Structure 1
Amino acid sequence: IENGGTGANSYDELEDNLELGELAKKDLIRDSLWSGEELSMVNGGTQASFAMHARYNLNLGALSVLDWIGDDQWYGPPLSIENGGTGGNNFDELEDNLELGEMAKQDVIRDAFWSGEELSMENGGTQASFAMHARYNLNLGALSVLDWIGD
């Protein structure tokens, strides 16, 4: 061993000569193999044997164990827009803070809400205010307005 060898002719002699323990033969350490003190945070542990103590040692609050936060858990001012909230206490404040217009409150857009230019064909419109112009823009022929064709 003094010259960089193991001083052994077998695996058993190697274990004895190098004083290897059970963990030396393992690829990973499971709870059943661990019997020492809690692993310190400096060495990547939580320095705790129980989840509650680990959360305390990591300075985690009560919200850290929740999957979501509802009105019952929230305490404080409205969450700012910058942090993913709306910054509002009610719907009116939400509308103001997010600068929502009338169309934002609608399920569908009707002619009564539309006051802009004709919607371009690239955006799903016909780029026309009148049916005749729409047919022209869609390159439809005279037959497009007929219900049937006779002899």
Structure 2
Amino acid sequence: MTDTRAAPFRSASGYDLTPPDDAERAALEADLNPEEKRVLLSHGTEAPFCGVLLGEKRPGVVCCRECGLPLFRAGTKFESGTGWPSFTEPVDPDHVGEIRDTSYGMVRIETVCARCGGHQGHVFPDGPPPTGLRYCINSVALTFVPQGEALPDPLRRGDGLA
């Protein structure tokens, strides 16, 4: 029998960005707690100054809580004073999608995981050098992986180490 599946879509850094199929998506969503579902699936926002990653200072990578795609390196995190973890740039620009958000009478840029589409937060043009960007991300939408440990791989795609 011939395999008719398309080759995976890969990011510039080599990660498989092919969206999960319906069965994979159902399994990923079943693993989320109610607050994670509210933020990742319903574009919610966690309360400021309560996220578990706000004070995280160890070297490593933060990944999408839903699908495990690496999104930000811990070394790009900075104290923004906003109450949410903030980063200057993604691991790979291909890993973070941007959507124009006009909710609440504002114009903002929403950030989503480029693989599963899970809501992460927003990006603003008021960050520090070198990028001048502030990726303001919900802790509950992320999983921290200390440097040298295996990245989460709930889709079994075999992507690397932190």
Q: TM tier, shorter chain?
A: under 0.3
**TM-score, scaled relative to structure 2:** 0.18
Higher relative contact order (CA 8 A, sep 6+): 2
